[in-house]
Amino acid sequence: MRQIAQYQDGRLELQDVPRPTAPPAGLLVRLTHSVISTGTERMKVEQAGMNLLQKARARPDQVRQVLETGRTLGWPAALAKVRNRLQTPTPLGYSAAGVVEHVAPENSRFRVGQRVAVAGAECAFHAEYVAVPDLLVAAVPDGVANWQAAYTAIASIALQAVRQLAPELGERVLVIGQGLVGLLVTAVLRSAGVRVGAVDLLASRRPLAEAMGAERVVIPGEQRLTDEMYAWTQGYGVDGVIVCAATRSNTPIEQSAEVLRDRGRIVIVGNARADLAWKAFYEKELEVRYSRSYGPGRYDPAYEWGGADYPIGYVRWTEQRNFDACLHLMQTGALDLEALTTRRLPFDRALDAYQAMLVDGARDAGMILEYPGVASSALDGAPAPASAPDAAPRGRPVRHSVPRVTTPITQVDVIGAGNFARTMLLPHLRRRISLGTVVNATALSANHAKATFGFALAATEPGAVSSPAVLIATRHHLHAALVTAALQADRHVFVEKPLCLSRVELDQIHTAYASGGGSVQVGFNRRFAGVSAELKRVVQAAPGPKTASIRVAAGRLSAQHWFADYAQSGGRVLGEACHFLDYLCFLFAAPPVRVAAQTVWPAAGRTPFPDSVAAQVEFADGSSGQVLYVAEGDPTWPKEQCTVFGAGFVAEITNFQELVVHRGRRTRKVRHRSKGHAEEMDAWAAFLRGEADHPLPYQQARQSMLLTFAVLESIQLGRSVDLRTTADPE
């Protein structure tokens, strides 16, 4: 299929990419129409064409992320991430309509052949096929054409802004900015019985604003806004203002304060500067609100991707219910999308549309892309092809080990080619072994990884892998099923940590491993770091038990980060602290026998699961290990530190790149640039080629996961947990 790809050097391409796969409980939709958002997408395209200094000024939040990466991982890693971001294409588009091509088995709301509107900058791309979750889809009613339904997501942004303002019948509201969203806001207000004034810098927008329902339209170069608004409201001022302009200027906010009546309301939709002058806002007691995209549910992964709808009695208007409301407005004719649509052109000429959009003073508002090849039978609801039956269950498990590969493996497939895999794993792996098929949920990313790293094929379905070895670097909740399937096919697996998210999943993996001929390596890279090898030699040379303390200043977890979605990540203890629990097992040549753990920050509020943990681990030889994984602290402190005390020595690692050993009244320092990603890829590739034993046997990784589950259990029970009761029988 074809999809629009944007590069951060300003290039736009129409690329051939693999067809995506429907997410769990979601849909695969063949698009008939999509809308180019002349505000949001123009901003993205313009920012992509900026030089690095201009990009830094436009996105200071990303500059801060780069600085943080440089502090924690070093500047070479930070620069590699920046370079990877600049070279990686990104999709465009978020509002479209089409016909359902495939329905996931868990979905009961939609059927093949049904006309639907789709939304979401994470999935509703300008592409011939899109894979979307259930709650980002709405059925198109009779009387609404697909080209109209393609506006649904953008219209919902306008509708949510009006809901935030909560205007009453007959009020006067000013809409600042008559771009695509501003024009839709004007139309929605008009349909709600509100009298609308509009302002825009372009005189060409006047007829569009009037067609959408504006009583009075002001062009600042031709009229004075304050005079016009006071004349229109008999000197009182408008009841509310909705700011739809995207600008670094504070003028729209200053103008809003001038034209509002006493105790008026402002809603900000566009990416507009908002410096509030105390005197003006205090004296009028003005209220300021922001409107967040399509409505409640937006940016909540449990809602959008997990399908956890909000009860209507508590949240009347979710983003999906806003979609339905907008489609009803289209059905009744309250949204005159004919007047709004200034350009319709075939998908083949999509790049021409973007060039036209970038012209100064462009007149376009609504720009529709029309896709070829939708058969009438599909519109009537042709039946879906039958799904292939599940593979038959395997036989009785038999424990086995894989010390060495006897027939060299020359090719590896990869499932999950996100930024981590592209930055930390694939650059090292591709120099050591041939790359076969790359699988990614996003077709554009799969295609980019194929071109960048020299894969033979790109796909979006894990069933496309065929090589005897596979690297898995997806989000955590997918690990167990993918590892189990690979082991059932007798493949050799490398999976990023964690191995899985529950004991049940671990048992399933154990059964598949024991009954097959494959192997598993978990991405516990810290044990492969150069300084770790040095420390291990020091620890092994000293007699008797040792004591180790690992302190991790992880920083606060953003509620928007996917780690905050427990269903996907398993939380930070499972997803991250497992690294350091494994490191204790690596240091001490004895199994863990008991652990006591507690949270050190309340597991409440926006992340209702353990975010910080203190764990004390006892080992069979008398050694003791402590892991402090904390979200609070100061960012100037080193992110990761490990101190080990033993007979005649003290050793300390900082960020797994520097080792200082104090022994015999002397101090020795060792530095390595890598945190172990390159070394673990080298070791796994050597195993696959038959040149070395397995670098991290499955039983060791399983032991580290059992320790991690015991830490969580200790937190839940409020007491220590004996690991000997959970160990595998010998």
Asked whether residue 55 carries a pLDDT value surpassing 60, the answer given is: no
pLDDT at 396 over 50: no
Q: Is the dihedral of CA 562, 567, 573, 579 positive or negative?
A: negative
User: With 0-12 CB in 10 A as exposed, 13-18 as middle and 19+ as buried, what is 695?
Assistant: middle
- Interval 647-657: pLDDT, tens: 999 999 999 99
- 3-class DSSP assignment, residue 91: strand
* Per-residue pLDDT at 728 exceeds 70: no
Please indicate whether residue 560 or residue 322 has the higher confidence score (pLDDT).
Answer: 322
Specify the pLDDT at position 378. 35
Pairing of strands 341-346, 366-370: parallel
**Integer Cα distance of 293 and 552 in angstroms:** 36
Measured CA distances, 493 to 432, 441, 479, 570 (Å): 16, 19, 11, 21
Count of C-beta atoms within a 10 Å radius of residue 536 = 14
Least Cα distance to 520 among 705, 656, 395, 396 occurs for: 705
In which band, very low, low, confident or very high, does the pLDDT at 248 lie, cut at 50, 70 and 90?
confident
Residue type, 80: A
pLDDT mean over 262-270: 94
Tokens of 58: 């436009």
**By C-alpha distance, which of 320, 374, 384, 304 is closest to 346?**
374
Cβ pair 232, 206 in contact under 8 A? no
Nearest-angstrom CA–CA distance, 526 and 613: 19
Single-letter residue type at 726: T
Query: No. of H helices and E strands in the chain?
Result: 27, 31
Residue 244: both structure tokens together: 């739809």
Q: Write out pLDDT tens, residues 448-502.
A: 999 999 999 999 999 999 999 999 999 999 999 999 999 999 999 999 999 999 9
Query: 337: which 2 tokens?
Result: 């999308």
**Cα 695 to Cα 590: distance, rounded to the nearest angstrom:** 18
Give the lowest-confidence range in 31-40, 382-391, 527-536: 382-391
Distance of alpha carbon 93 from alpha carbon 36, whole angstroms: 6
Confidence of residue 47 (pLDDT cuts 50, 70, 90): low
pLDDT tier, 380 (very low <50, low <70, confident <90, very high otherwise): very low
Of residues 652 and 46, the one with the higher pLDDT is: 652
Note the pLDDT of residue 54: 60
Looking at residue 383, what is its pLDDT? 34
Between 108-117, 316-325, 377-386, 523-532, the lowest mean confidence (pLDDT) is in: 377-386
Question: What does the pLDDT read at residue 600?
Answer: 76
Note the pLDDT of residue 393. Answer: 35
Confidence of residue 56 (pLDDT cuts 50, 70, 90): low
Assess whether the previous peptide bond of 498 is cis (omega < 30° from 0).
yes
Whole-number pLDDT of residue 80:
73
What pLDDT is stored for residue 362 in this prediction? 65
Cβ neighbours for 680, distance < 8 A, ≥ 6 positions apart: 521, 523, 524, 525, 528, 695, 696
- Which tokens hold the place of 374? 């939708």
User: What distance lies between CA 110 and its chain's CA centroid?
Assistant: 25
pLDDT tens figures, 112-169: 999 999 999 999 999 999 999 999 999 999 999 999 999 999 999 999 999 999 999 9
- For residue range 324-364, what is the model confidence (pLDDT) as tens digits? 999 999 999 999 899 889 889 999 998 888 887 777 556 77
Domains identified in the chain and CATH numbers: 2-151+300-376 (3.90.180.10), 159-290 (3.40.50.720), 411-523 (3.40.50.720), 526-678+690-725 (3.30.360.10)
> Sheet containing 434-439: which strands, arranged edge to edge?
457-459, 434-439, 411-415, 469-472, 492-495, 519-522
Confidence of residue 376 (pLDDT cuts 50, 70, 90): very low
pLDDT higher than 70, residue 221: yes
Q: What angle do CA 196, 198, 204 make, to 5 degrees?
A: 135
Q: What confidence category does residue 623 fall into, taking pLDDT thresholds of 50, 70 and 90?
A: very high
49 dihedral zone (left: phi>0; alpha: psi -120 to 50; beta): alpha
The string of DSSP letters for 579-620 reads HHHHHHHHHSSS-EEEEEEEESS---TTS-S-SSEEEEEEET
* Measured distance CA(547)–CA(644) in Å, rounded: 6
What the block records as the tokens of 496 is: 């990023």
Percentage of the chain exceeding pLDDT 70: 89
pLDDT at position 394 over 50: no
0.85 surpassed by pTM:
no
Run of H or E residues at 451: helix 443-453
Whether residue 447 has pLDDT greater than 60: yes
Contact 483/498 with Cβ under 8 angstroms? Answer: no
- Residue 538 has phi, psi (to 5 degrees) of -65, -45
Instruction: Give the mean model confidence (pLDDT) for residues 310-329.
Output: 96
| 153-202 pLDDT, tens digit each | 999 999 999 999 999 999 999 999 999 999 999 999 999 999 999 999 98
Identity at 208, one-letter amino acid code: L
Q: What is the mean pLDDT of the chain?
A: 88
Residues 438 and 474 sit within 8 Å (Cβ to Cβ): no
Query: For residue 61, what pLDDT is reported?
Result: 62
Phi/psi at 417 (nearest 5 deg)? Answer: -120, 55
Q: Which residue has the higher pLDDT, 249 or 42?
A: 249
Q: Which residues contact 105 (CB under 8 A, 6 or more apart)?
A: 387
Quick check: 105 pLDDT over 90? no
Provide mean pLDDT across the span 15-28.
Answer: 92
Among 108-122, 236-250, 395-409, 644-658, the least confident range: 395-409
**Strand-pair partners of 117:** 97, 138
CA-only gyration radius of the chain, Å? 29
Task: List Cα–Cα distances, 242 to 288, 297, 316, 342, 600, in angstroms.
Answer: 10, 22, 22, 23, 44
* 396 three-class SS: coil
Query: Phi and psi for 556 in degrees, rounded to 5?
Result: -65, 145
Tell me the pLDDT band of 591, cut-offs 50, 70 and 90.
very high
pLDDT recorded at residue 58: 56
Which range has the worst mean pLDDT, 90-94, 348-352, 403-407? 403-407
Mean pLDDT of 209-226: 93
pLDDT: which is higher, 551 or 360: 551
Q: How far apart are CA 86 and CA 69, in angstroms?
A: 16
- Helix, strand, coil percent values for the chain (each to nearest 5): 35, 25, 40
Q: In this predicted structure, what is the pLDDT of residue 147?
A: 96
What pLDDT is attached to residue 72? 67
pLDDT tops 50 at residue 381: no
Which of 230, 227, 226, 229 minimizes the C-alpha distance to 197? 229
At 521, list the tokens: 């390596």
